[in-house]
A and B are shown apart, each in its own frame.
Chain A
């Protein structure tokens, strides 16, 4: 219908694809009903996004028609790539999908009103009905949902029709308001450190959520700031990219130093809660970086990674705590750390040696088993003389650095410690990734047999990945011990392995930045297995969201949140060439055109 801005050929929009609209409407209806019955609207109603307009509870339903409608817009498959096409028919399509989603809720309301199956479905409750009726009569609520759903669907569809600039502006505004609201604790805490409470007092409602004025202010800033900055960032970036290599690396170094310095002073401007939260994120960053080497680089699907975290934690506890039941040398933490690293590395070697000969599914199952075995050993009566069984080990002293003690009482110090070790882990990961062994890991991940045929000693190389992964996990375990002061077998559930794996997958396998972003987003916002995130209200739904996110990522973005920049940059041009080749536009004497 219209030519896209970047000069690709003019595309003709197809007519309304009814089956597609019906499918999306059904997805919308079922998702809305599912979310309602999972208890999210009621459970999250306490948390305000914009007071008094919108709570997290309502948001958990309202995004469905909007997002699905914008996804349902027409598209054309061009040269193997899916292209969006602008078409006014998308407005109709979006409205239909929105209506469909709303009808799902209406149907649910009718059912809840007339039948009672609260027995299996806890959330089949009058509260849900009240909430869905906006505390008015049910009939009025239903009409309201139909109007609201259709409107939101229309808006979602409109995202397809309006010019790109308008679309990106709208999305920026929506996401900024949402982000500022979700990050409330963090922002308040940070601004308090700079004595800027006036600002946060102004935009936030005192019992959580943005005030309407605050939301408007954030929206205004989201529009004005990009206008002020303009394309200066792109200009600077291209200028840096065009610099000669040595100058560019100097710029990168300076940026890195400034960034690190900022990170190091950050804890001093943050309050207890935020420091605690970021320290938890840091522990998971360490774990995820380690697992990233095992899974992301070497392609070994280790489902029992928590074992190394546990060994690191327990070894630290035994070596430093006066309450260690068997052997209690009460070493200072830094000395203990050396032993911990060596010992965990050895455990990695011992577990790895038998496991590493297996491949794929078998390996995953066996590592899962080993992960549990390690936890059960720490729990067992047999070894309780050493590890205290279910009573665990208490009174772990923390890290004595002369002028202060780093322990959980002072989350700021723990966060600083985690930062230092994260930096070490990032450096190790980065160096290894670009080393000879890193390349061997990737070769094994891609094709183990061929890697072997190229002369890679696959057994040793894979073991090496296992050991490095174990060592990075032991850092995390050692800090965890010092932080919490007492450890129990229940601190090392299998769930941790799974969560770390999700962090790695969601962030982007084999990608250091991705893994860090993944940990920040998942652990920081949703929270870890036991650690609360910024959205504490979400703790009930944490696993649901983790699971949904994992499925969605695997289906739609298997490369992770942060795709490997180097490769994607290469691919964006090359994929196009490939597609042109498929169409026979470029002649490459190939099997496609046998002579």
Chain B
């Protein structure tokens, strides 16, 4: 993405505190339209807080969240969802006792354009024929892979411009992780910007354009995916542990 373009979603010097604990320290991020980027980091590095701040579930102490040129730091989550930011939560977290259909409909909760919703539902069915088969089933009874499909489908139902994915490979079998990342690429090819937050650095970097590495709330590396993959520091700290497959 070119330099003079306005980022779709941006962090400008974000600092986030939980009480006295300083979680995010001067974090700057930018996601351009149609880009696939990833944020890497270990446990307690501030990944989840980054997502919550992006989505407005946590308000930063200083700094600004900018969505499409507009400062949305103090705007509600629903305001941002309406303008195209959606999250696929960690571990899928479907509404377990609701049917697959109800889950998908909740993804489109803020939308009022019936035709658009129907179109997107068709799009989800096309992408995941199995979701269509299981439409009236309680989502909690689905298998892990199917739940992942519904979770992604639910997020797509909001017709997002940028999809935030929290640990998409967590809790999935290795074979499924592969399928899952292929799926992410497929969505990306449809023009949706994707922001992956991952511990599985190898996999995420293999499909991403750019990436950041977060360590105890600070961005310590900010580079292209290839450069990060080649980075000796990163190889030692991440790829050595979780990338040995």
Instruction: Tell me whether B137 and A455 are in contact (CB under 8 A).
Output: no
> Which of these binds chain B: A324-332, A336-344, A584-592?
A584-592
B173 partner residues in chain A, CB cutoff 8 A: 590-594
Does the CB pair B76–A457 fall under 8 Å? Answer: yes
Are B176 and A590 in contact, with the CB atoms below 8 A? yes
**Nearest CB in chain A to that of B79: its residue:** A455
Interface hits, B105-133 → A, CB 8 Å: 105-107, 109-110
> B154 contacts which chain A residues (CB < 8 A)?
454
Tell me the nearest residue of chain A to B95, going by C-beta. Answer: A446
Any chain B CB within 8 A of the CB of A595? yes
Nearest residue (CB) in B for A567 is: B138
List of A residues within 8 angstroms of B94 by Cβ: 446-447
CA A476 – CA B144 in complex, angstroms?
Answer: 46
B residues near A588, Cβ cutoff 8 Å: 143, 145-146
- Chain B nearest CB from A247 CB (Å) reads 22
A442 to B101, CA, bound (A): 13
Q: Tell me which residues from 75 to 116 in chain B have a Cβ below 8 Å from any Cβ of chain A.
A: 76-78, 81-82, 86-87, 89, 93-99, 102, 105-107, 109-110
In angstroms, Cα B37 to Cα A16, docked, is 62
Query: How far apart are A58's CB and chain B's nearest CB, in angstroms?
Result: 42
Tell me the number of A-to-B contacts counted with CB atoms below 8 Å: 109
Whether A454 contacts B158 in the complex (CB less than 8 A), given A442-B95, A443-B98, A446-B98, comes out as yes
Q: Which of A443, A567, A575, A591 contacts B106 (CB 8 A)?
A: A443
User: Do A590 and B143 have beta carbons less than 8 Å apart?
Assistant: yes
Asked if A381 is an interface residue, CB under 8 A from chain B, the answer is no
Once bound together, how far apart are the Cα atoms of A574 and B137, in whole Å? 7
B77 touches A450 (CB 8 A): no
How far, in angstroms, from A445 to B96 measured CA to CA in the complex? 10
Q: Judge whether A581 is part of the interface by a CB distance below 8 angstroms.
A: yes
In the complex, chain B residues 123-170 whose Cβ is within 8 Å of any chain A Cβ? 134, 136-138, 141, 143-146, 154, 158
**Interface residue B20 (Cβ < 8 Å from any Cβ of A):** no
Judge whether A453 and B144 touch: CB under 8 Å.
no
B144 in contact with A591 (CB, 8 Å): yes
A454–B158 CA distance with the chains assembled, in angstroms:
8
Instruction: Determine if A571 is an interface residue (Cβ-Cβ < 8 Å).
Output: yes
- B164 to chain A: closest residue by CB: A453
Is A450 a contact of B143 with CB atoms below 8 Å? no
Residue A37 is within 8 A (CB to CB) of chain B in the complex: no
Q: Could you tell me if A457 and B78 are in contact, using CB atoms closer than 8 angstroms?
A: yes
| Residues of B with C-beta under 8 A to A574 | 134, 137-138, 141
Q: A residues within 8 A CB of B109?
A: 436, 439-440, 443, 454-456
* Closest B residue by C-beta to A581: B143
Q: How many residues of A are counted as interface, with CB atoms below 8 angstroms from the partner's CB atoms?
A: 32
> Could you tell me if B175 and A595 are in contact, using CB atoms closer than 8 angstroms?
yes
| Complex alpha-carbon distance, A574 and B93, angstroms | 20
Output the least CB separation between A153 and chain B (Å): 38
| Chain A residues near B134 (CB-CB < 8 A) | 574
Would you list which residues of chain A between 21 and 40 have a CB under 8 Å from chain B?
Answer: none
Interface residues of A in 440-464 (CB under 8 A from B): 440, 442-443, 445-447, 449-457
Q: Are B145 and A449 in contact (CB under 8 A)?
A: no
Q: How far is the CB of A240 from chain B (nearest CB, A)?
A: 20
Q: Which of A231-254 contact B (CB under 8 A)?
A: none
Instruction: Report chain B residues within 8 Å CB of A119.
Output: none
Cβ < 8 Å to B, chain A residues 559-592: 567, 570-571, 574-575, 578, 581, 588-592
Given A454-B109, A455-B81, A589–B98 Cβ distance below 8 Å?
no
- In angstroms, Cα B245 to Cα A594, docked, is 14
- Within 8 Å by CB of B95, from A450, A570, A591, A594, lies A450
Closest residue of chain A to B166 (Cβ to Cβ) is: A453
Contact residue among B138, B146, B158, B172 (Cβ-Cβ distance under 8 Å from A455): B158
Which partner residue on chain A sits nearest B93 by CB separation?
A450
- Residue among B87, B137, B179 making CB contact with A453, cutoff 8 Å: B87
A442 touches B102 (CB 8 A): yes
Distance (whole angstroms) from the CB of B60 to the closest CB of chain A: 17
Query: Cβ of B1 < 8 Å from any Cβ of A?
Result: no
Report if A453-B89 is in contact (Cβ < 8 Å); known contacts: A442-B102, A590-B176, A591-B144.
Answer: yes
Shortest Cβ distance from residue B209 to the other chain A in the assembled complex, whole angstroms = 25
Is the CB–CB distance between A594 and B174 below 8 Å? yes
Nearest Cβ in chain A — how far from B166, in angstroms? 10
- Chain A residues contacting B99 (CB-CB under 8 Å) are 567, 570
Determine if B110 and A455 form an interchain contact, defined as CB atoms under 8 angstroms apart.
yes
Instruction: Give the CA-CA distance A574 to B100 in the complex, in Å.
Output: 13
A348 to chain B, nearest CB (A): 23
User: In the bound complex, what is the Cα–Cα distance between A449 and B87 (angstroms)?
Assistant: 11
Q: Taking the nearest CB of chain A, how far is it from the CB of B188, in angstroms?
A: 20
* A163 to B73 alpha-carbon distance, docked (Å): 69
Measured between beta carbons, the chain A residues less than 8 angstroms from B57 are 449, 452-453
From A442, A453, A567, A575, B77 is in contact (CB under 8 Å) with A453
Q: Are B145 and A591 within 8 A (Cβ)?
A: yes
- In the complex, chain A residues whose CB is within 8 Å of the CB of B136: 570
B134 to A, closest residue via Cβ: A574
Asked if A589 and B89 make an inter-chain contact with CB atoms under 8 angstroms apart, the answer reads no
State the Cβ distance, A356 to closest chain B Cβ, in Å. Answer: 16
A550–B82 alpha-carbon span in the complex (Å): 43
Q: Does B192 contact A (CB under 8 A)?
A: no
B170-184 contacts to A, CB under 8 A, are 171-176, 179
Asked if A590 and B145 make an inter-chain contact with CB atoms under 8 angstroms apart, the answer reads yes
Distance in angstroms between the alpha carbons of A451 and B57 in the assembled complex: 11
- B8 within 8 A of partner (CB): no
Question: B55 in the interface, Cβ–Cβ < 8 Å?
Answer: yes
Inter-chain contacts of A590 with B (CB < 8 A): 143-146, 173, 176
**Can you list 6 pairs linking A and B with CB atoms under 8 Å apart?**
A453-B89, A454-B154, A455-B81, A570-B138, A578-B143, A594-B175
**Top-4 shortest CB links A-B:** A591-B173, A455-B81, A446-B95, A594-B173
Name A's B-contacting residues (CB within 8 A): 436, 439-440, 442-443, 445-447, 449-457, 567, 570-571, 574-575, 578, 581, 588-595
Contacts beyond the supplied A445-B97, A454-B158: 6 A-B pairs with Cβ under 8 Å:
A439-B106, A450-B93, A451-B95, A453-B55, A589-B179, A590-B146
